[in-house]
Amino acid sequence: MKKHNRWIDVLIFGVIIAMSVSLLHYSGSHQADTAADDTYNGHTAITFGWWGNDERHVYTLKGVDLFEQENRDITVDCQYSVWSGYEHRYRIYMRSGTEPDVMLVNYNWLSEYSADGTGYYDLNELSDIIDLSGFTKEDLACGTVSGRLNALPTAYNAVVFYYNKDILDRYNLPVPQTWDDLAAAAAAMYEDGITPLYLNEKHLFFLINAHYEQTEGKEIFNADGNYIGGEETARAFLSFYKNLVDLHIIRPMDESNANNFTSGKTAGAACWASDASRYCDSMVKQGYTMVPGKPIGISESNRTGWYIKPATMYAIRKDTMHPEEAGKLLNFLLNDPDMAQLQGLEKGVPVSQKARDALTDTELQEGFSAEAGNAILKDRAQYKMMNPFLENENVIRIFHDEAAMYLYGKEDLETAAEQLASRWSAA
């Protein structure tokens, strides 16, 4: 019995008993945490790390089994967990030089761990192994740092908006498109305990940033990740957040969760395009009608403030001892038709044309995530790539801290803005 099948059985059992995956698991008895030239049983051993939910773990392990069947001389040791566990472990990996040979990475990690392009293997050197023909110049550019192809995107993401049409109809409201629309919706719903919009902390930060760019016509971080706004910008961010709460457009960050949306206490939700089905499918099952909205904006603004980014990316460790084997696995994950069938649209509509060709029209078009993902691909050339520092976890955590201090009266606006600008400048 192959070792991955055993772990699939264990994982499925874990799903049945509803146990959350909180620690890293290893497929087999081998753990490769160093760049040592590890071979056993006549096989070359490489490591592969990713994060995700149970669904992702199951299909990825099945895919690794297929890869090993097709590459009998390669053994893949898998390291995976839920997001929080993986993120913590990954930071240790990158700081100690013990990261997996092949790894799922976030787009903003390129700037964090490979600012000069040398933090990951240059995939251009494996172009005879990795089929790049299914990727456009724009696709390759988003993973290129200082001329080195650090990573390849699996799918694209952008913040999308979906609304419960039944709630909007109850108040005779249109689908919100502007800030004034949101304020009007909040005024109509507030007495019934309903807010117009749910966002997690990251997407709320994007929302506030979009408003700032639309009204001020400039960005807050430069390409090098330096904060260029000053105290005035920090004051604008904090003031607008408090305004959103005071107008009952959103709930305070510490009181907001996705259950408000799924329970009908919030009329709309902002989410990644790849998560649209996760947000909306349960609402449809409850009998609600879900409709897409447009990114909130100001019609006369010369900036939208909304961006596109790779949903996730695959990279290879910079000093892997087995670049050929790692390249074969990365190519399989992105381009193999069987892997594409296993993955479906779980990560979003695939960027790779090879992967899209392996899916049927129905698979590519059905569902909310397909609807959102296809809209992004269709308008890909019109989107500006997100500055990765906008989703830097430290930047968003600092904003959360200072926004809470201001909202709950522990700091006045001037003090909070001074602290926010200072901490962002040092981040």
Decide if pLDDT at 286 tops 80: yes
> What pLDDT score was predicted for residue 166?
97
pLDDT grade, residue 41 (50/70/90)?
low
**Could you tell me if residue 399 is inside a domain?**
yes
Average pLDDT, the chain: 90
Nearest to 310 by CA among 139, 160, 120: 139
Residues 224 and 282 in one domain: yes
* pLDDT-above-70 percentage for the chain: 90
Are residues 361 and 303 part of one domain?
no
Each residue of 46-64: pLDDT tens digit? 999 999 999 999 999 999 9
**Structure confidence at residue 27 (pLDDT):** 39
Give the DSSP letter string of 223-278: TT--B--HHHHHHHHHHHHHHHHHTTSS--GGG--THHHHTTSEEEEEEEGGGHHH
Q: For residue 23, with 0-12 CB atoms within 10 Å meaning exposed, 13-18 middle and 19 or more buried, which class applies?
A: exposed
For residues 230 and 212, what is the distance between their CA atoms, to the nearest angstrom? 13
Judgement on whether residues 176 and 245 belong to the same structural domain of the protein: yes
In a domain, 202, yes or no: yes
How many CB atoms neighbour CB 70 within 10 A? Answer: 12
Q: What is the pLDDT of residues 327-372, one digit of tens each?
A: 999 999 999 999 999 999 999 999 999 999 999 988 898 899 999 9
- Based on the domain organization, do 161 and 266 belong to the same domain? yes
CB 103 within 8 Å of CB 315? yes
Asked if 144 and 196 sit in the same domain, the reply is no
Position 294, amino acid: K
For residues 251 and 147, membership in a common domain is answered with no
pLDDT number for residue 36: 42
Residue 100 CB: number of other CB atoms within 10 A?
Answer: 25
**Burial of 380 per CB tally in 10 Å (0-12, 13-18, 19+):** middle
What is the pLDDT at residue 38?
59
Residues 291 and 316 in one domain: no
**Nearest residue to 28 (alpha-carbon basis) of 98, 89, 99, 78:** 78
Residue 162's φ and ψ, nearest 5 degrees, are -130, 145
Domain encompassing residue 29: 3-155+311-374
If asked whether residues 403 and 263 sit together in one domain, one would say yes
Helix, strand, or coil (residue 317): strand
pLDDT for the residue 19: 38
Q: Is the pLDDT of residue 29 over 60?
A: no
Counting the structural domains of the chain, the total is 2
**d(C-alpha 59, C-alpha 67), whole Å:** 12
CA distance 422 to 427: 9
Lowest mean pLDDT among 3-17, 156-170, 366-380: 3-17
Residues 297 and 255 in one domain: yes
Beta bridge partners of 47: 77
Same domain for 333 and 241? no
CA distances from 331 to 4, 55, 58 (A): 20, 21, 19
54 domain residue, yes or no: yes
Cα–Cα distance measured from residue 29 to residue 39, given in angstroms and rounded to the nearest whole number? 13
pTM of the model: 0.83
Q: Read out DSSP for 201-225?
A: HHHHHHHHHHHHHHHH---SB-TT-
The CATH number of the domain holding residue 113 is 3.40.190.10
* Model confidence pLDDT, tens digit, residues 5-23: 444 444 444 443 333 433 3
Q: What is the pLDDT of residue 39?
A: 58
**Which pair of structure tokens corresponds to residue 154?**
């699996």
Can you name the residues that pair with 145 across neighbouring β-strands?
148
Predicted local distance difference test score (pLDDT) of residue 25: 40
Say yes or no: 323 and 349 in one domain. yes
Q: Which of 202, 195, 181, 160 is nearest to 295 (CA)?
A: 160
Nearest of 342, 406, 397, 348 to residue 377 by alpha carbon: 348
379, part of any domain: no
Summarised one tens digit per residue, pLDDT across range 294-337 is 999 997 788 889 999 999 999 999 999 999 999 999 999 999 99
How confident is the model at residue 22, as a pLDDT?
Answer: 38
191-223 burial, b for 16+ CB within 10 Å, e for fewer?
eeebbbbbbbbbbbbbbbbbbbbbebeebbbee
How far is it, in rounded angstroms, from Cα 264 to Cα 117?
46
Q: Are residues 149 and 14 in the same domain?
A: yes
Spell out the residues 6+ positions from residue 147 whose beta carbon is closer than 8 angstroms to its own.
117
Q: Which of 350, 374, 398 finishes a domain?
A: 374
Which residues, in sequence order, are CB contacts of 254 under 8 Å at separation 6+? 404
Q: What pLDDT was estimated at residue 327?
A: 98
